[in-house]
Structure 1
Amino acid sequence: MAARLAGRTTAGAIALFVAVLSGCSEERPASGSLPSSTAETTSSEALPPLGPPDFPVPEAARQNSAEGALEFTRYYIALAAHVADGPQDPQPLLDLAQNCDQCQMIADSYGADRDAGYTYSDFTYTFEPAGPAIMRGPDAEVSFVFAQSELLVFDSSGQPVTGRSAPATGALASGARLVWNASEQSWNVSVLTIG
């Protein structure tokens, strides 16, 4: 299954995601790796929506627990692929981050590529947890293995942009540091490392 990267998208940022910062064991499309958005919460009240309207943060990813931290990290990686999957604004990547330099670099790259009119080939990625999240006060650390298939980038005339394309990555040891945002009842990414 592949995530389609088309239109004014920024899959070059996924390449940046891997090159600069350098699931499951089966390949998944960008939106297919998320926990259910109807997961039950420990609260009797429904949480207010968070994230893009067409790709909201699932309730399971909004739990202040090791499981919630893992699900939020899985969601954030899927969100990056979702933003690359169409002409979405990369701002949600920043809205769900807190002083994350890597997240800013990815969002900036997405925005620049989108403005340049780049389009992208289908790609797949995998996200495999490397164990449970480690809770440290209001923070959590999540280790995972990320892999991405080959990514081909095309300019607005359909010509290949070889400098922005990227080969398949293979398995990359990766991680995220999250901080709990009590006012949003959600995690925010403070550090993201791929590879």
Structure 2
Amino acid sequence: MRDLRGSGRLRRTLIGVLLGTALLTGCAEKQEANDTLPSTSASPTTEALPELGPADFPVPDEARTKDAAGAEAFLRYWIDLINRQRTVPAGQPLRDLGPDCNDCWRIANNYDEALAAGRRYDGGKLTLNDVTEPQFTGDEASINFGVRQEAVVMVDAAGTPVDSGLPTQPNLSSGVTLVWSEADISWLVVSMTLG
């Protein structure tokens, strides 16, 4: 009787050597380039968005998408813009981004009148407390939110208060309606209520 166990080991060893040789030979052989590889030429880039907002504080790209994330990002930018323009004070950027918004124009006019009178606002920073999911109707997005407004007082050039001001408001129930502008590739404010 013959012992076949030894020949099985030999066979597995030979198969392993042959497979290893085939794999190594395949790596060493010259291969032709694939005709279906992508072109090395530069791919077309997305056209840059038109400038919108103050040159040193433009509307960010993430606020310029026609979806819920873009609408919320625009609201966050808008609140930051109101805070920024109050410290300048200057209202034109608020008019530019809220061309049909009465309250936006009212705030913008207040800022311009303060500047013309040599006055400024001390305090008044707005901070979003919570933001609901935007609700869409066609090209409009409505967002309800709570906002904290720090105490604010109007002061003259010397820093002397010229009015009694307003105390801190911890959570003003607020809302904004935005409309998508194809021309600007951005949201614009149609209406806004703070408190």
TM-score interval, smaller chain: 0.7 to 0.9
Which is richer in helix? 2
Q: Hey, what does 2:145 align to over in structure 1?
A: 144
Q: Hey, what does 1:177 align to over in structure 2?
A: 177
Q: Taking CA–CA contacts closer than 8 Å with sequence separation of 6 or more, which of the two structures ends up with the larger relative contact order? A: 1
CA distance in 2, matches of 1:69, 1:103: 17
CA distance in 2, matches of 1:139, 1:180: 6
Residue deviations 1:60-104, cap 9 Å, x none? 1111111111111111111111111225x3111011113111111
Structure 1 residues 128 and 111: CA distance shift in structure 2, 3 A: same
CA distance in 1, matches of 2:120, 2:46: 44
Structure 2 residue identity aligned to 1:184: D
Q: Hey, what does 1:79 align to over in structure 2?
A: 81
CA distance in 1, matches of 2:56, 2:131: 29
Q: Within the alignment, does 1:63 sit opposite 2:60 as a pair?
A: no
CA distance in 2, matches of 1:189, 1:119: 25
Identity of aligned residues (%): 38
Check whether the contact 2:83–2:125 (CA below 8 A) recurs between aligned residues. no
Residue deviations 1:135-171, cap 9 Å, x none? 11110001111111111321134321124x2110110
Q: Within the alignment, does 1:154 sit opposite 2:134 as a pair?
A: no
Q: Hey, what does 1:132 align to over in structure 2?
A: 133
Q: Hey, what does 1:105 align to over in structure 2?
A: 106
For residue 112 of structure 1, report the CA deviation from its aligned partner. Answer: 0.4
Q: For 1:50, what is the secondary structure of its paired residue?
A: coil
Q: What TM-score do the two structures reach when normalised by structure 1?
A: 0.72
Shifted more, 57-66 versus 145-154: the winner is 145-154
Structure 1 residues 48 and 142: CA distance shift in structure 2, 3 A: same
Check whether the contact 2:129–2:171 (CA below 8 A) recurs between aligned residues. no
User: If you compute each CA radius of gyration, which structure gives the higher value, 1 or 2?
Assistant: 2
Q: Hey, what does 2:118 align to over in structure 1?
A: 117
Structure 1 residues 151 and 85: CA distance shift in structure 2, 3 A: same
Q: What TM-score do the two structures reach when normalised by structure 2?
A: 0.72
Q: Which 5+ residue runs of structure 1 have no aligned equivalent?
A: 1-42
CA distance in 1, matches of 2:88, 2:110: 14
Shifted more, 72-81 versus 150-159: the winner is 150-159
Q: For 1:105, what is the secondary structure of its paired residue?
A: helix
Q: For 2:47, what is the secondary structure of its paired residue?
A: coil
Count residues with an aligned counterpart: 151
